[in-house]
Copies of this chain bind each other. A is one copy, B any other.
Amino acid sequence: MSLERRFGIAGVGTYLPREIVLAADYDRLTGLPLGQVAEKFGVAQRHRAAPDETTSWMAEQAARSALAEAGWEPPSLDVIISACGVMEQPIPSTAVLVQRRLGLGGSGIAAFDINATCLSFLLAFDRVLAGFALKEWRRALIVSADIASAALDYSNPESSVLFGDGAAAIALESDGPHVRLAHVFRTYGDGADLCKIESGGTRLRPADGIDQFLDHATFQMDGPGLFRATSRRFPKFMQELLSAAAISSSELQCIIPHQASRAALEHLKRSLPGGQEKTVDMFAHIGNLIATSIPFMLAHARQRGLLGEGELGLIVGTSAGVSLGGAVIRW
């Protein structure tokens, strides 16, 4: 079985909310002594979405940039996949809202969501590449947008100051110079409680008691537990991924990781040869954008010219679940 898939990136786009929250603001929000959020968590600043900067609106801005760079008329798309950490609303799916915002509400273009929390983009990308390989689609738009600030509990610094808001979009085409050499995605549901938002779905309901609902409406994370659950599985996971790509880690030129936390990024850099220099790290200024981190960093890497033709690159991350996922790409 080969997972080699050819593709092109026709355009990328990103959006960051207007409002900037500084590390000192987080010190106040969390009640920590001034300077602690910067020192302990590696935070310089984050962007925070205002009420008009909704998930689908931010996704639209990123998508318009990606489509403009591609030079594609929106109606030429074959499929729009939304790959967010959390949806804008439970019904309908976020991709539908983005389709409408792009003026495609009468187009019939297929629009649906794929959700694997912070690795949603990786899964959407994989399913798009399958569609390309089977000649089902020629042009695909993947949008990711997340508003972590909608559900943060600042009384718990560790599970709040890590996160920022933002959006990214990647316009993918079936013909192009890039080849995904390998893809691995492993889920370990034993860690499902390490990272969660419980209220907002079918289980906890406001009608059953508003206090209980509100108590579980914010993001809860067991940071050390999550780090243990993913880091102990990381070596075997990387081995599997590199082996599937038939390369060694020293051949990787550019590492595009999910921006889980400073600790996770430092762990990744130490785990791979030359990791310090090769890893795209915007954690200090952008933070963990949930599902948006990976496409945001991919867009940034492309705009900065970090994806040299023929060079080997890695996309890699962890997500609530817990899952570990990655892809090796020859750019």
Query: A residues near B, CB below 8 A?
Result: 1, 3, 51, 54-55, 80, 85-101, 104-117, 119-120, 123, 127, 130-131, 133-136, 146-147, 150-151, 185-192, 195-208, 210, 213-214, 217, 219, 319-323
Contacts and interface: CB of A to CB of B under 8 A. Distances in A.
Contacts of A202: 54-55, 86-88, 146-147, 150-151
Contacts of A51: 208
A72 to B, nearest CB: 18
A90 B218 CA distance: 10
A318 to B, nearest CB: 12
Residue among A93, A190, A219 with max Cβ neighbours from chain B (10 Å): A93
A197 B113 contact: no
A85 B207 CA distance: 20
Contacts of A54: 202-203
A201 B200 contact: yes
Contacts of A109: 186-187
A151 to B, nearest CB: 7
B319 A185 contact: no
A294 to B, nearest CB: 14
Contacts of A210: 210, 214
Dominant SS among interface residues on chain A: mixed
Nearest to A240: B108
Please provide the 7 A-B residue pairs with the shortest distance between their CB atoms, ordered closest to farther: A100-B189, A105-B190, A200-B200, A108-B186, A99-B189, A105-B189, A92-B320
A91 B219 contact: yes
Contact of A1 (B86, B136, B321): B136
A111 B187 contact: yes
B214 A206 contact: yes
B201 A87 contact: yes
Nearest to A191: B105
A224 to B, nearest CB: 18
Given A115-B113, A190-B105, A90 B201 contact: yes
20 contacts: A54-B202, A87-B202, A89-B196, A90-B151, A90-B197, A90-B201, A91-B195, A91-B197, A96-B321, A99-B189, A100-B192, A105-B190, A109-B186, A110-B323, A112-B115, A112-B119, A130-B130, A146-B202, A147-B202, A210-B210
